[in-house]
Amino acid sequence: MGADIIGTITAPLTFESVGLLAIIVMIRTFLSFSLETEIEGCWPWQRAARKAQGETDKSR
């Protein structure tokens, strides 16, 4: 992502180049979010509850 940002900054700023950068950032954010959800097996906002449940299960 850093290379895309630097490439966009060094190129002349137009609405097209800024829009392209925004699309690239959205796609990469979505892919990172999807990959994290796939690895963890739960939504990020459910992780704290899942860890708390796992700790209480271990203490029994």
**pLDDT tens digits along 22-56:** 898 899 999 998 998 898 888 777 877 777 777 55
CB neighbour list of residue 21: distance below 8 Å, 6 or more residues apart: 4, 5, 8
pTM of the model: 0.58
Contact 23, 4 (CB under 8 A): no
Q: What are the boundaries of each domain within the chain?
A: 2-58
